[in-house]
Structure 1
């Protein structure tokens, strides 16, 4: 190699060294080219073995200033042992290890107990919340339940009382509309008569008159059905209504009244048709059923073919349609007149009509029954005249399965036909007959709401149920339609007053239910639940009207055996919190009580004072002690009044006096009570507690006003804490006899007393303020204050009461600062 080559190589190396050393941004390279080559080969081998992911991780973390190898070393040094290891056995002589183990055992057991307690509390709250939600869902489902229910469910009948009721809430405008208010006025008048002991008027009649004023034809017809079906039934008042309605006598009366209602209704319908078409009807001016039926048949058969009708005509009209419509209007005499005009050949039929006219409500004799059955099976069953077939079926109770759709085209016609086929007095065992329970089951269970499209035509379904004596499912169905709920509630009330409504064995039952002891398909309606559901909407805004409806529940008991009226009034009071309106107001100075809304119901079985006491008990459970005082005062329970006052005084005694505060209100209440009940005997414990707490009110008033001399005088009169060492033993003994209300205030009393002594000490130490006092007098005064402070501190440590931890430290600190 030439010198020039070495020179150029040297020059290049120097230039490279100069560039490396002169670049301050790059670190100085201390490796030779061979070392760099070796490091590069090692790095390449590691990349090929572990892959590029580790290199990318190094580059990513390195760009953020993280030294990955250093972190790996730190992680390797971490210990994986658990924080709480099992304690190893130790020797009995190793006191230090024994104490350490005991301490760790105590900590572990405390942590375990807290953990178990927390888990149990969470579990209890979870189940309580779930049960509450399920109960609400059960109430919603049971209120709409219409199927069978052989087991009673324990559901709350009263509405839940809100815990977040504003005490200043004012009663708003009435929630009652015109119809509800009209019914409510009749309810109030009825209850007033009942409370006076006069003869009860019929609520069905009263409510029917009210319903006539609503100008609603469907509502008017509903009340007409209730009035027709409840008139003069042979019901025994001291027996179960469903049991009475299952007797043959009552069933016979129900069938008769339902038939009469349908017949009178159809007669009215025929009159309206004839009056609208007088010219075509050609009725004539003769009154009576026969001319009416003749005119109606003329209109009904007008334009129709008479093919298939049998036995000719009378007076220009077909015979059997005339007889049928006479029977449909309930006039057997008119039907007899028709058959006599038909001429000879109907002697057996005439005999049947004459016997039915002579013995109304009684079945045919065996001879006539056998004759008409034989004649029907032989000649009439397959006759082409549908009117003749239906007439023979009605009079002879033949072929109860034939529904005669050619003639009985409406629900009214169908029901009248079935009621006509019922025999309440079956004199022939071999004769197939329709029973009253059988008809009830067919309408309610076999057909039901779907078949009759009940929600599209509620009047039809209500009519079918009511006219078959099924008042309970009829009213329950009507109550599910918002438009008719108000009428359903008052129908139930009116029937219940007539002892016609079947109720469940317990007020916790669903709205409609089945008792397994009742005949099929009877239902029981929970009147209490129905009234509570109705009243719930307006009970807060209209408590006076709500009380009138609750009065209908006075003879019922809740699950705990309490009078349901009293329970509902208590719940109402807790909901609306207008205690003065419900129970009257007691004058705080004279103690004279004004008359409340529930006083009108006071009787031998309704005790208004007991209701007030129940409300007070619930208020105490909810922590509303101030309202509870008024309720206990209204109930005449003076002992509980002073007991609650003591509880409230202990909570506010140490607070400063502020206008409008709870402390000021309670202080004024206690002052009025003390003035009114100055001669009322009370238990010694309550009397002592009340007196001491009132003295403590004076003490804290003086303390917050910085009148320390007056405060110490008030505290000295209480005689509950020592102000000298001689009193300490006596005050400790006295403390053990004090009530819990006074003990709760003790930490504040001790701190206030010590603060007073400390301030007096600081004033004594101020030379500029005490220049007139000699040094000897000042020292004696200081020593006296120190003695009082020591007595208070010693007293705080000797009494059997667990005070807050900072109370001891503050007392000790102030005592130390006085030395």
Structure 2
């Protein structure tokens, strides 16, 4: 064995081992190969991470140093601030003797306070902006949901449910929907629609206006529904009010005479209704009533008290009238609206109640009011003795005549909501100067019913018609209609009540189409009454949305009520009709159609437009074009005589399909047929149109013929057509003149120039190849000239394409050159 001996190697290894155990600084570590590899990888990753973290710090230091900032000092200051508190709390105070530390501490506390204040302000601002955005989005979403609430099939129903015990037909949709199986209108809606049609026809014919409330009442009587019939009796009674003079609707509705008349009409309705009730009770039990005697209210009241004795009377004060309590007879005479009968009873017993007899006669003579002195005397007497009387009818009569104790509900005599309403309305004073708490003004009574009592007190969800009646009779028409419209099965009644009031100019409507159903404006505030506005347009559109697709004629009748409401500078009738036409697509039925001689056959809208149907059709055409329904817009522009718009829009439609074939593009054949029909009719009728639009239209028609021949591979005929159009140069001498002419073409022609050039070049190539194939069999000089002319033609086309002041598609020029090369 050569080299170092084994003993020497062993000795060297022992020396190395001794050196490792010789007290070196590093401890001895025993690791295998895999552990060494893992340790190396960890050291390498730490090194790379440290380098990556150090690079942004280096960049920051360079940036701050370039601005004259000392990086180490800034770092120390930041460490001092962050080490003080990570929540920006004030730093701890230092000793009073350490002035330098105190000042430094105060400065840092001030900085922290500013940072904390700015942080809180930022958080509040972000939160405020967030909620403003969310609320705005929610309002938009609610508007969209409301507009889509009632679908065409009427299957969606998100309105509040009516309790199950309400079994009257008012709350049930009739099973017999319509004679027309396509209609989505129920029987109530059909009956109302017929009455609205009659009402509008009378207006459009220029006759005497009918009373819409009377017509709707007739519809309710036809349906034999007692509740709805009573509703329309109430509406009819209130709408018979004598209109007051004012400069605007809001001033008339809030005027003292108008409100006074409305309250009187409400009392009249309640009194007539109760008189009918008394007669029904008496005639139902004649053997107990024992009516007999002279006809009149007094005998009726006495008979009524026999049928329904005044059991609540604990004592008959001041005697009786033929066995009936005196004050009960007086009360029911007043309750039935016969004040003369009440005066007669009082006079007959004047010896018993002399003072009240005087006051009662004055009350009737002065139109249901007393003088201030008489009213004060009556209130004094009421407080002294009448208030503690055991006879509830006596206290009720005193409170009505003398307007005493407006807080007493008189539950013993006013056992129903209608009785309570009549009693309180009898005490109401329509006066803006009465701020005394003992005076019941109309506005105070309205707020009492809505704000203090509200829907829950009157169980409005179970008996919505009752709550509607309470609101309606207290001159809160808009709120009453809005409440009733929440119920799907009652929305038809609410809508027609609104239309009846609107026709009598008694309904306050919102100015904006996009307003809420009920809005309150500061400018409308009145000390006499609560003033709110109803979004009538929204209510009508919500109501008609259910059936406008299947019954567009009926929808038009309702839109006619919106003719005087403006939105975006135009009549809301036009706006709604335009949308109706677009949604239904019934152009001929609604707008009419053109006859062969160019005259227009009237449509359903003609009777509403008073000769301005073409303006309406033009509006529909404009809206249809804006929605992208261009073919329908062409038909509508043509229908209303807007010939320039017809051809201009038709040119835009023809441009994208002109170079295609009828088989490759499904719209091309239809558009070509439409264009040819219009062109022939305009020519036969000598229709005047703009020269530029007309020339573009006819040029596009010629190009349609050219491309038809091109796709049919009829080379010579296609080249003859394009040569007759004189759009393209056939020689180099014509290039400049054709370029100049090209500048006068419209955009529709310019957009098609690349297809025209490629088609013409393809035809020339085919002609040349056909001629070359022919020359192989028969050599003629004419064949050479054909190819030469084709090459000359092709060269002029390439030159023309390069000189055009129009950007051709990227591959168009390359394809032209390739086709030219194929001719060689």
TM-score > 0.5 by shorter chain? yes
- Among 369, 372, 394, the alignment partner of 1:388 is 394
1:308-330 superposed Cα distances (whole Å, 9 cap, x missing partner): 54334442233322322222222
- Among 773, 779, 785, the alignment partner of 2:790 is 785
Q: Does 1:173 align with 2:179?
A: no
1:588-626 superposed Cα distances (whole Å, 9 cap, x missing partner): x5323211111112326xx22122222222232333222
Match of 1:801 in 2: 806
Q: Does 1:813 align with 2:822?
A: no
Match of 2:176 in 1: none
C-alpha distance 284-224 of structure 1, shift in aligned 2 (>3 A): same
C-alpha distance 664-567 of structure 1, shift in aligned 2 (>3 A): same
- Among 744, 748, 753, the alignment partner of 2:751 is 744
SS at match of 1:398: coil
Q: Does 1:450 align with 2:437?
A: no
Match of 2:276 in 1: 268
Q: Does 1:182 align with 2:181?
A: no
**Greater mean alpha carbon deviation, residues 263-272 or residues 469-478:** 263-272
C-alpha distance 428-464 of structure 1, shift in aligned 2 (>3 A): closer
Alpha-carbon distance in 2 for matches of 1:133, 1:798: 57
C-alpha distance 318-130 of structure 1, shift in aligned 2 (>3 A): closer
Q: Does 1:329 align with 2:316?
A: no
State the Cα RMSD in Å.
Answer: 3.5
C-alpha distance 278-682 of structure 1, shift in aligned 2 (>3 A): closer
Q: 8 Å contact 1:313–1:342 — kept in the other structure?
A: no
Q: Does 1:586 align with 2:594?
A: yes
1:8-41 superposed Cα distances (whole Å, 9 cap, x missing partner): xxxxxxxxxxxxxxxxxxxxxxxxxx9xxxxxx9
Measured after TM superposition, the shift of residue 203 of structure 1 is 1.0
Measured after TM superposition, the shift of residue 362 of structure 1 is 4.3
Measured after TM superposition, the shift of residue 299 of structure 1 is 3.8
Q: 8 Å contact 2:446–2:530 — kept in the other structure?
A: yes
Q: 8 Å contact 1:366–1:428 — kept in the other structure?
A: no
Match of 2:556 in 1: 547
SS at match of 1:381: helix
Measured after TM superposition, the shift of residue 348 of structure 1 is 1.0
**Greater mean alpha carbon deviation, residues 391-400 or residues 172-181:** 172-181
- Among 413, 420, 431, the alignment partner of 2:426 is 420
Q: Does 1:293 align with 2:280?
A: no
Alpha-carbon distance in 1 for matches of 2:432, 2:642: 65
Match of 1:347 in 2: 354
Match of 1:372 in 2: 378
Alpha-carbon distance in 1 for matches of 2:369, 2:139: 55
Alpha-carbon distance in 1 for matches of 2:546, 2:370: 55
Match of 2:606 in 1: 599
SS at match of 2:352: coil
Measured after TM superposition, the shift of residue 502 of structure 1 is 1.2
Match of 2:717 in 1: 710
Q: Does 1:222 align with 2:231?
A: yes
Match of 1:120 in 2: none
Alpha-carbon distance in 2 for matches of 1:781, 1:140: 71
Q: Does 1:491 align with 2:497?
A: yes
Measured after TM superposition, the shift of residue 426 of structure 1 is 10
Q: Does 1:623 align with 2:623?
A: no
Q: 8 Å contact 1:475–1:488 — kept in the other structure?
A: yes
Residues 132-143 of structure 1 aligned to structure 2 (within 5 Å): 134-138=139-143, 140=145
SS at match of 2:777: coil
Greater relative CO, 1 or 2 (CA 8 Å, sep 6+): 1
Q: 8 Å contact 1:511–1:529 — kept in the other structure?
A: yes
1:281-318 superposed Cα distances (whole Å, 9 cap, x missing partner): 4444543222222233234337x475354334442233
Alpha-carbon distance in 1 for matches of 2:652, 2:433: 78
C-alpha distance 425-645 of structure 1, shift in aligned 2 (>3 A): closer
Q: 8 Å contact 2:318–2:352 — kept in the other structure?
A: no
C-alpha distance 618-428 of structure 1, shift in aligned 2 (>3 A): closer
Measured after TM superposition, the shift of residue 139 of structure 1 is 5.5
Q: Does 1:200 align with 2:209?
A: yes
Q: 8 Å contact 1:142–1:510 — kept in the other structure?
A: no
Measured after TM superposition, the shift of residue 141 of structure 1 is 7.1
Alpha-carbon distance in 2 for matches of 1:610, 1:439: 49
C-alpha distance 660-545 of structure 1, shift in aligned 2 (>3 A): farther
Match of 1:636 in 2: 641
Q: 8 Å contact 2:434–2:441 — kept in the other structure?
A: no
Alpha-carbon distance in 2 for matches of 1:788, 1:517: 78
Alpha-carbon distance in 1 for matches of 2:240, 2:590: 38
Measured after TM superposition, the shift of residue 140 of structure 1 is 5.0
Alpha-carbon distance in 1 for matches of 2:474, 2:406: 17
- Among 680, 687, 704, the alignment partner of 1:680 is 687
Measured after TM superposition, the shift of residue 339 of structure 1 is 4.3
C-alpha distance 550-254 of structure 1, shift in aligned 2 (>3 A): same
Alpha-carbon distance in 2 for matches of 1:747, 1:623: 26
Q: 8 Å contact 1:423–1:435 — kept in the other structure?
A: yes
Alpha-carbon distance in 2 for matches of 1:598, 1:626: 21
Q: Does 1:509 align with 2:515?
A: yes
Alpha-carbon distance in 1 for matches of 2:669, 2:144: 44
Alpha-carbon distance in 1 for matches of 2:352, 2:609: 73
Alpha-carbon distance in 1 for matches of 2:620, 2:147: 28
C-alpha distance 452-241 of structure 1, shift in aligned 2 (>3 A): farther
C-alpha distance 541-235 of structure 1, shift in aligned 2 (>3 A): farther
1:366-401 superposed Cα distances (whole Å, 9 cap, x missing partner): 453333222112111222322221111111111112
Alpha-carbon distance in 1 for matches of 2:227, 2:803: 83
- Among 764, 787, 802, the alignment partner of 1:757 is 764
Measured after TM superposition, the shift of residue 477 of structure 1 is 1.0
Alpha-carbon distance in 2 for matches of 1:480, 1:328: 33
Aligned residues: 683
TM-score (norm 2): 0.77
Q: 8 Å contact 1:235–1:241 — kept in the other structure?
A: no
SS at match of 1:505: coil
Alpha-carbon distance in 2 for matches of 1:784, 1:129: 73
Alpha-carbon distance in 2 for matches of 1:647, 1:660: 16
Q: 8 Å contact 1:229–1:469 — kept in the other structure?
A: no
**Greater mean alpha carbon deviation, residues 423-432 or residues 776-785:** 423-432
Q: Does 1:398 align with 2:385?
A: no
Measured after TM superposition, the shift of residue 265 of structure 1 is 1.6
Match of 2:177 in 1: none
Measured after TM superposition, the shift of residue 807 of structure 1 is 1.4
Alpha-carbon distance in 2 for matches of 1:686, 1:720: 17
Match of 1:92 in 2: none
SS at match of 1:675: helix
Alpha-carbon distance in 2 for matches of 1:691, 1:461: 68
- Among 470, 476, 481, the alignment partner of 1:475 is 481
Match of 1:522 in 2: 531
1:503-549 superposed Cα distances (whole Å, 9 cap, x missing partner): 22333322211121222522111211111111111112111111111
C-alpha distance 130-618 of structure 1, shift in aligned 2 (>3 A): farther
Q: 8 Å contact 2:244–2:257 — kept in the other structure?
A: no
Match of 1:6 in 2: none
Match of 1:252 in 2: 260
